[in-house]
Amino acid sequence: MPSVTLNRVERGRYLDSVALMRLSRRLAALPGVEGASMMIGSPSNKALLRDAGLLAAEGDAATPNDIVIAVRAGDEASARQALGCALEFPVESKSASFSNSKTLRGALDALPGANFALISVPGEFAAAEARRALGAGLHALVFSSGVPLAEERALKELAAQKGLLLMGPDCGTALIAGTPLAFANAVPRGDIGIVSASGTGLQEVACLIARLGGGVSHGIGVGGRDLDEAVGALGTLAAIDALERDAATKTIVLISKPPAPRVAEQVLARLARCKKNTVVCFLGLDQPGHAPTLRAAAEMATGKKIAEEKLTKRKASGRVEALYCGGTLCSEAELIFRRRGLEVGMRGHRFIDLGDDQYTRGRPHPMIEPEIRNDRLASALADPLVGAVLVDIVLGYGAHRDPAGVLARENLAQKTVIASVVGTEADPQVRSLQVARLRDAGVLVAPSNAHAAEFAASLVAH
C-alpha cells in the first residue's frame, strides 16, 4: 500500500523555528508516521517539504504568515490522526515577565529604552527586519541564516553609516556587556574582548579564558561569511573599532577560519594600528605570532596555560570518527590531524559537522537536540573499522539541558571515546557535572577541544 501524504495549514499563526522543530520530532514519533514536519509556509520551507516528499496541495498554497503541518504515513487513518495531534502538543511558554509584540514598532513602544535587537526569523525576511532595526537606531544581532551576501554587505554598510553594530547574519553567539545572547555561556566580565566569525569558536575561547581566571568584556559575533571577499570584513573591522574605544577592554582576540587573502591583509593592517594587545587565531592559516588553536588563543590572551590532564591511552586500531555539534570545533580537530600528516576524508579519519546545513534542514541544531548525533554514534561504536570516536559537548544558554546524558545513552565503553566539554560552572548544565557524567560512562574527557583532538591523533599516529 502506498504512503499517504497530508497537509494542514494553520492560517495566520506563528511559532519560532526551534519550537516547530521540536514539535516536528514529536509528530514524527507517532505510530504509523513515516515522516513529518511543521514549518512556516515560506517559499524556501515549502521547497524543503517538496524535496522531502511531504508537500501536498494544501500546504503548497500556504503563505509565509501560515504554519504548514505535513505528515506522511503508511495509511490515511494514521496520517489524519497525526494531523489532529499536531497542535495538541504543549509548546514551551514564554516567560510572563516579557511583553509580546508582533512588530518592531510595538516592541519599541513596550521597551522605549531599547538599543539592541536580536533577529531570528526565516532567512528571506531577516534582511528586511535588520534594516528596520538599524533604521530605528538599534544595534542588531541577526541569528538567521540564508541572507544573500549582497544583502549582508549592504546591511553592514548601512550600520557603518549609522554608527551601529550589525552582528551576523548567521551569528550564533555573542556576549555583550555580560549578557549572553543566542548560544552563549555564563562567563565572568573581564578585560578581554573577542571578535569571532564562529559561534562555537567564541564559546570555546570565552570558556577557556574563564577557566584560566580571566573574563570577557564583550564577545562580538560577526557571522561566518564576514571575512569573505564579498563582505570584506565590514563587521570585523567595526567590532575592532568598538572594542578599541571600549575602556574596559585591554586585549582583543580575533577568531576566524582563514579569510580571503586581501581581507586578511586588511584586517591584519587594522590590528597593527590597534593601541591594545591583540591575539589572532585564523584557524588553518599558520603565521608566526598567531594562535594555532583556540586553546592557544585563550592562553595568549590571559598569559596562562591550561593545565594538562593525563588521559589513559587505550588501544585504538582503526580510524577516528569525529562527530561534532560545533562546526569550528570540528574544523580545529581536523586541522590538528592534518598537521600531523594523518589522512582525512573518505579513506582516512572522518570529521562530520552535524550542525552543517545539510544535516539541520528542517531539524533542530544538535546543540539543541543532541539525539541527532546518537544514531551516527551507535553506528561508529559498532563499526569494526572505527578505533576511536571524538565528540564535543557544548553547554550554555540555548543548548540542551543534559547533552552528556544523551550521549551516555549509548554503550560508550565498547570503544575509546574522547570528548571535550565547552562550558563553565555557572552554565545551566554545570560543566563539572557534565564531565562527571561522561567519565562515569567511560569517556576520556580532555580539558579543551585541541587537547582532545591531539590525544585522539596520538592514538592512531604511527
How would you classify the pairing of strands 116-119 and 444-446? unpaired
Residues in the chain: 462
| Distance between start and end Cα atoms, the chain | 54
Give pLDDT, residue 65: 87
d(CA 330, CA 339): 14
Same fold: 115-302 with 319-460? yes
Q: Which residues have a Cβ under 8 Å from the Cβ of 363 and sit 6 or more positions away? A: 21, 24, 25, 369, 372
What residues does 68 pair with on adjacent strands? Answer: 9, 39
Give pLDDT, residue 229: 96
Grid coordinates representing 226 are 564576514
DSSP structural state of residue 187: -
Grid coordinates representing 452 are 582532545
Q: Exposed (0-12), middle (13-18) or buried (19+): which is 272, by Cβ within 10 Å?
A: exposed
Backbone angles phi, psi at 133, to 5 degrees: -65, -45
Asked if 106 and 100 touch (Cβ cutoff 8 Å), the reply is no
Grid coordinates representing 24 are 516536528
Long-range contacts of 79-88 (CB under 8 A, 24+ apart): 79/4, 79/5, 79/6, 79/32, 79/33, 80/6, 81/30, 81/32, 82/27, 82/30, 82/32, 82/33, 82/36, 83/6, 83/8, 85/27, 85/30, 86/8, 86/23, 86/27, 86/38, 87/10
Backbone angles phi, psi at 267, to 5 degrees: -65, -45
Grid coordinates representing 239 are 567590532
Instruction: Tell me which residue of 233, 293, 337 sits closest to 450, measured CA to CA.
Output: 293
Q: 3-state class of 12 per DSSP?
A: coil
Q: Class of 115-302 per CATH?
A: alpha beta
CATH 2.10.109.10 fits 319-460, yes or no: no
Instruction: Tell me which residue of 432, 389, 436, 384 sits closest to 410, measured CA to CA.
Output: 389
Give pLDDT, residue 44: 82
Give pLDDT, residue 95: 45
Give pLDDT, residue 96: 43
CATH number of 4-86: 3.30.70
* Structural domain boundaries in the chain: 4-86, 115-302, 319-460
In the block, cell 578599541 appears at 244
DSSP structural state of residue 259: P
Other C-beta atoms closer than 10 Å to the C-beta of 242 total: 17
pLDDT in tens, the chain (462 residues): 689 999 999 998 887 776 787 788 788 889 999 988 898 998 888 988 998 899 999 999 999 889 999 999 999 999 999 998 887 876 554 444 456 777 888 889 889 899 999 998 888 889 999 999 999 999 999 998 889 999 999 999 999 999 999 999 999 999 999 999 999 999 999 999 999 999 999 999 999 999 999 999 999 999 999 999 999 999 999 999 999 999 999 999 999 988 999 999 999 999 999 999 999 999 998 889 999 999 999 999 999 999 988 888 777 788 999 999 999 999 999 999 999 999 998 789 999 999 887 777 666 788 988 888 998 999 999 999 999 999 999 999 989 999 999 999 999 998 999 999 999 999 999 999 999 999 999 999 999 999 999 999 999 876
Backbone angles phi, psi at 15, to 5 degrees: -135, 150
- List the 116-119 sheet strands across, edge first: 116-119, 139-142, 166-167
Give pLDDT, residue 387: 94
In the block, cell 516528499 appears at 53
